[in-house]
Chains A and B, each alone.
Chain A
Amino acid sequence: MLLYGRARILTRSARWARSAHTVRPRVDDSRWPGWELVVGIEVHAQIKSRRKLFSEAFASDLTSPPNTHVSPFDAAFPGTLPRLNPKCVELGVRTAIALNAEVQRRSAFDRKHYFYADLPSGYQITQQYAPIARNGSLQLKEDNISVRIKQVQLEQDTGKSTFLPRNRLTAIDLNRAGMGLMEIVSEPDMRSPEEAGSYVRALQALLRSVGSSDGNMEQGSLRCDVNVSVNRVGGPPGTRCEIKNLNSVKNMMVAITCEAFRQIALVDKGIPVTQETRGFDEEKAETYSLRSKEDAPDYRYMPDPNIPPLLLDKSYIDEIRHNMPELPDATRARLLSRGLFKRDVEVLMLVDSGREVGYDGQLGHGAVAYFDEVSQGRNPKEVVNWYGITHELLGQLAFRNETFSENPISVQQMGDLIDLVSSGKVTGTSGKTILRHILSTRTPDLPSKIAQDLQLLAVSDGGASLEKWCRDAIAALPEEAEAVRQGNAKVVNKIIGYVMKASRGTANAQDARGMLLKLLRP
């Protein structure tokens, strides 16, 4: 599967017929005072389905050897025919509903033709004329704006071609060829690189929450093409340029900023911006021309004669709507209503968004679900508190360089541990010890058993042990004890430390303080 040729960046017809922007109060941007920036984004998100959009071949991952997930259809063998994967449709509908879009009862598939080595049939099956959903919106809470979604369409992904400069060969890998993509097209509703960044991040979180895509830009399962134009405040809209194939949110924001400066410089000099497709050079931090509008290829769109129109029953759409997973905004609101601090909610949500997205819409078990289960019948604040999830567990996992999906502590174990600490059966310090013990040994034992085995249960002998540890400490630290007697209360902490060490954490620090003060300042 090798072919002579040179790497070339694929492009598509631009589709912003922009006459009027949404009416929004304008905020002057100190980077370009007197100018307005207008941004629209086309996102291609790979559908997380087990099989490809039109064939039986299984989805591959980064570890799959090249050309091992390829059916005859994917390689465009003669005589093969497409068969629409209903799971991809379902995930597309879920996404559309999450975007508040109108799911179309009738949509259709078209062929978009161009010759490229990673496109074996010579055409991509897409939804040019009748997309699966239209007229949605995505709220960006932090920026307090709403970005309109023009349409969502289903289409095939291409294979991957890698140019090998030494022997002037292009290597083709068809593992990805024919995977389902959702093309999500926004209206030009963003006014800064930061809003563009928020939009893509919000979209990523949304796709992950409904399980339709893992939205990973670095691994190429989410790709952005950005349309940028500038105009003087109050002036007519400028000419837009499209920047293609941006592979991270950060790069996208830098690219938009660079492009804004480039266009402003042109207009300032009286040179008109020409509509074109541009690439982005990360090293030089500048965009460069790929192709002018005149060179835009004619894709010869044609309704695909093999694929009947996709007709969706109202009951089918309602069923999906009824079983929608919780969307990020709803999760956030629910957690806040349970009394959690905003900061803790954001940490939980952030960790949750890193969870594994299952195939065919199976929802992964993330930090929020873990929290929900552990906090059943318990005080949510205690669960999330310092001895609970967000702080100690997440901190320890981070310290051990592990992700939340590698967390070995079961819901039962965590619940038991929280109960032990909150009932005073073990001290907070001992609780942390038990948590670290489970993390390092991967033991399935319940914390109550571990506390016993490790002799970490708080001693309940009417204070006899505590008094002994305190007397020992005073004896061992005569100078400090004297200072406390003289009225220096701060020094007592040092003696408490000695007590804690001697008790191996089973002593309660508050009780120890009380006992020490009683003994030293009767």
Chain B
Amino acid sequence: MFARSRSQCPRLSGSLHFVRRSASTQISNAAVNAIVSSAGSEGAFATRGSGPLAGVTVAVKDNICTKSLPTTCSSRILENFTSPFDATVVSLLSTGGAAIVGKANCDEFGMGSLNVHSVHGPVVNPVGLQDGVPVERRSAGGSSGGSAAAVAAGFCDAALGTDTGGSVRLPASYCGVVGLKPSYGIISRWGVVSFADSLDCVGVLAKDVSTVRRVHNAIAKYDERDPTAAPPHVRALASQLCMQRAAEITATDLKGLRIGVPRDYFPKELQPSVIESLQKTLDQLRARGATVVPVTLPSTPYALSAYYVISSAEASSNLARYDGVEYGLRVEPPPGANLNKTANVYAHSRTRGFGEEVKRRILLGTYALSADAFENYFLQAQRVRNLIKADFNRVFWAPNALKVDASTNATRTEGVDVIIHPSAIRTAPPLPDAQHGASAETGSLDAYVQDVMTVPASLAGLPALSVPAGSGSDAWPIGVSVVGQWGFDEMVLKVGEVIESCQAGGP
């Protein structure tokens, strides 16, 4: 009944020749495994002469639907799946004049922090390459590891990722690029394969903030096909509040800008070099006139648990559709199999089609929604989520435009414009050996901790930008995150731009 999936585009094994990191270094996709299906240099995806994105090359995470390329979500269950439609963001890129170069590797359905849970294999962080040859195999971060690596390797000017709990910001931090998770509801999710609907955001990654802004502005459009899209009047209200202050920010003058640093964002797992680079960044901002104040977000310690309960619960629901009937991988039950229940039939396809991490989260989420656990897990996590939102609303001067009374809410004189904290607890971790899978119990818990800095903004639906801020003692990139009130995407971009110019040794 629909255009059935075609055979998958052959995985790229050769080099992408339009790719250049610098004059002397040419990186092949084979070395980083960032692009899993390539649009080639011709065809419908070629750039157009006009439009705000004319001449911009973009890679699209493989969980965003494209009509002309497969959309596998890095899962075996969708290995041969091509969507019958383009996601709204893909259409907007095309009408904006961008050229889509291919689909980017990711963790299966966006679940993971290291981009190792992929049917296409792990993404290798391009920072560890010398003369195109990997000298140190580290993770590109996840789940949008392919998007971050493609940008870092110079395969494209920008990439779309998705961010559910840090999946854009973490890989941006590990790969030394800029990554924006916009406010929830600003970019359409139509055509974005759901992991956890209430958290999923399309995000943009690029080498610099101005490219991120350019792509973001082209795709941050209200779309009536997304029922969770923020309606135009709410956008307008937030934008008006944001520009009251953002308009005054320049690269050299941050007078009046109040930056909050949350005390609660310094867990014991934090690497010392990460703290140092944050300090240095704050010093630079202070030197330009900004005021740095400590703030408390007391519910932060519960955020990670709440996040994993909510995201897994929603994932268990969203992934119920992969049953091998309408599309995707179908495994015939063996002769003699018990077919009394429909679930028994589906089990064969789902067991083979889903990877270990996805199965783990489906089981966790299924449990959290069961009648016995619903109150103590799912509802409790929702309460924590509300506390976290309240924490943020307390520290910003601006009211949250999503609250119905936001327009009448007097803005407060105290309160901060943005919050700044480390994007990750460390520099990019080494890729696990092929021999020791990433699925060992301790390994997976470690991976979950990677998200500790990023999930609060996801739970609250706030804009958060990770910007490179120097490097660690191991010479690998470190990122800092700028978080703003809902709808203050331009504010975090402005502040990120200043941090960027400080790094470049700017004025």
Contact = CB atoms under 8 A, between A and B. Distances in A.
B460 interface: no
Given A67-B1, A82-B227, A123 B320 contact: yes
A106 to B, nearest CB: 12
B440 interface: no
A116 B323 CA distance: 10
Interface residues of B, number: 51
Contacts of A122: 317, 320-321, 323
Contact of B83 (A79, A120, A121, A168): A79
A75 interface: yes
Chain B CB count within 10 A is highest, among A115, A116, A123, for A115
B22 interface: no
B320 A6 contact: no
Interface string B312-336: 0110110011010111000011000
B190 interface: yes
B482 interface: no
A252 to B, nearest CB: 27
Contacts of A77: 2, 83-84, 326-327
B224 interface: yes
A77 B332 CA distance: 21
A417 to B, nearest CB: 52
A69 to B, nearest CB: 10
B190 A172 contact: no
Nearest to B189: A81
A374 B207 CA distance: 78
Given A1-B326, A4-B333, A306-B197, A78 B227 contact: no
B345 A83 contact: no
B210 to A, nearest CB: 29
B233 interface: no
A333 interface: no
B326 A5 contact: no
B476 to A, nearest CB: 34
Interface stretch (B98-106, B365-373, B414-422): B365-373
B378 interface: yes
B339 A4 contact: yes
Interface stretch (A28-36, A184-192, A297-305): A297-305
B242 interface: no
Chain B CB count within 10 A is highest, among A4, A76, A77, A306, for A77
Chain B CB count within 10 A is highest, among A79, A80, A84, A121, for A79
B408 interface: no
Interface residues of A, number: 38
B71 interface: yes
Contacts of B297: none
15 contacts: A3-B342, A75-B2, A78-B65, A79-B190, A79-B193, A122-B323, A123-B317, A298-B370, A298-B371, A300-B371, A302-B314, A302-B317, A302-B369, A307-B227, A308-B227
Contacts of A148: none
Given A115-B320, A120-B321, A302-B378, A79 B326 contact: no
A86 to B, nearest CB: 12
Given A77-B83, A79-B87, A305 B197 contact: yes
A172 B190 CA distance: 26
B191 interface: yes
B194 A84 contact: no
Contacts of B316: 300
A320 to B, nearest CB: 22
A343 to B, nearest CB: 52
Nearest to B326: A75
A111 interface: yes
B136 interface: no
Contacts of A172: 325
A306 B227 contact: yes
A221 B194 CA distance: 32
A78 B225 contact: no
Given A115-B341, A123-B317, A300-B366, 5 more contacts: A3-B325, A77-B83, A78-B65, A79-B192, A302-B317
B346 interface: yes
Nearest to B2: A72
B149 interface: no
A284 interface: no
Given A3-B345, A82-B227, A305 B198 contact: yes
A269 interface: no
Interface in A103-157: 111, 113, 115-117, 120-123
A172 B324 CA distance: 13
Given A78-B194, A79-B190, A305-B314, A113 B369 contact: yes
A288 B113 CA distance: 52
A174 to B, nearest CB: 8
Contacts of B370: 298, 300
A15 B79 CA distance: 42
Contact of A306 (B81, B228, B341, B374): B228
Contacts of B410: none
A79 B65 contact: yes
* 7 A-B pairs with least C-beta separation: A122-B320, A300-B369, A305-B198, A305-B197, A76-B321, A115-B343, A78-B193
Given A78-B71, A302-B317, A1 B190 contact: no
